[in-house]
Amino acid sequence: MKILSIHYSQTGQLTQIMEQILSPIKKCFTIDEVRFTDNDAYTFPWGKKNFFDTMPETVLMKKMPLSPIHYQEEKYDLVIFGFQSWFLSLSRPCSSLLQDDEFKKRTRGAKFITVIGARNMWVNAFLDSKKLIEENGCKIIGNIPLVDRNANYISAITIQYWVFTGKKDKMWGIFPKPGISEEDILFSTKYGEIICEKLLSKQENSLQKAILDENKINIPWDVLFIEKRGKKMFRLWASLILNKGKNPFKRNFFLFLYRIYLYVALFTISPIVISIYALVFRPFMLKSESQKKNVILHF
């Protein structure tokens, strides 16, 4: 079996996760390991201006140039694909990879295992990847999302601290450390053991069930609620910025408005709407909510 492991990571966190997952698999199979880059388009730490300027093209999955990738094989049977979620979407370098002609040629018809490193909202990024992967005649047989388990509003603050300063310590000495916990990163070795076992026994079709049986993967109802509605608004903002921001001044103006919207929506409107939904509507939506989660988790 010809296996390609490929991922993009600014901070190095996803690289740590991939290394843990691949460790047991490499004892059984030879793997072509690639960490691809973006020609330094997105440096780390990010400046605020560059961070928000990334949003429109990311959300609308506009293709960007990547650094050349050196493959060891002409064709691959299995791809272990690691990516992040940016602005409730597949990160732009990763969506660009899935649209790259050379990558598509070498992976056409292959099976995919997706590995996600996210703050807490990974569903839309996964659905973006699923769409592009399936368009190339491929099939996802497993999905492993790892998230920051801190409260939504806390992690929204700490992730910005990490991204803008490059420091992965306790902000002001009181906030929890940003990112995925070391415990969860180390535990991901278990997923590698499961993958190895299923590949050796040729039981790939039961891989996702085995991953979920570890009871580490869940989609909080409030996160699902925000993702569904937030992505629609992000698409509207992305289209507005690209259509109206035809010069740097106009683009920066509309990006400034988007930043105001984002912070107001996240820290003011969202808590109110979620509280009302939880008290008034959610009791009648539990079955539908469960069905949606089931579809996402079992794709």
Domain hosting residue 174, numbered range: 3-212
Domain final position from 182, 212, 242: 212
Q: Which residues contact 45 (CB under 8 A, 6 or more apart)?
A: 162, 163, 164, 165, 166
Query: Cβ of 286: how many Cβ atoms within 10 Å?
Result: 10
φ, ψ for residue 4, nearest 5 deg = -115, 125
- pLDDT confidence tier of residue 39, bands split at 50, 70 and 90: confident
Residue pLDDT, tens place only, 45-61: 998 899 999 999 999 99
In this structure, the answer to whether residues 234 and 100 fall within a common structural domain is: no
Q: What is the CATH number of the domain that holds 199?
A: 3.40.50.360
Q: What is the pLDDT of residue 174?
A: 93
Domain boundary pick from 175, 194, 212: 212
What are the residues whose beta carbons fall under 8 Å from the beta carbon of 157, sequence distance 6 or more?
171, 175
> Are the C-beta atoms of residues 97 and 133 closer than 8 Å to each other?
no
Amino acid at 138: C
pLDDT at 178: 95
Residues 42 and 118 in one domain: yes
Please say whether the beta carbons of 114 and 78 come within 8 A. no
Structurally, the chain folds into a number of domains equal to: 2
In this predicted structure, the answer to whether residue 40 has a pLDDT above a threshold of 90 is: no
Alpha carbon distance 229, 217 (integer Å): 22
Same domain, 125 and 253: no
Point out the domain boundary residue: 159, 189, 212.
212
At residue 237, the pLDDT reads 98
Say what the pLDDT of residue 93 is: 98
41 and 173 both lie in a single domain: yes
Q: What is the pLDDT of residue 89?
A: 98
Length reported for the chain:
299
One domain, residues 203 and 237: no
Decide: 146 and 118 in contact? Cβ < 8 Å. Answer: yes
Question: Tens digits of per-residue pLDDT, 174-224?
Answer: 999 999 999 999 999 999 999 999 999 999 999 999 999 999 999 999 999
Question: What are the tens digits of pLDDT across the range 14-30?
Answer: 999 999 999 999 999 99
Helix (H) or strand (E) holding 100: none
Q: Is 188 helix (H, G, I), strand (E, B) or coil?
A: helix
Residues 33 and 147 in one domain: yes
Same domain for 208 and 226? no
Crossing angle between the packed helical segments 286-298 and 123-135, to the nearest 10 degrees: 50
Over range 111-129, report the average pLDDT: 97
Token output for 234: 């992000």
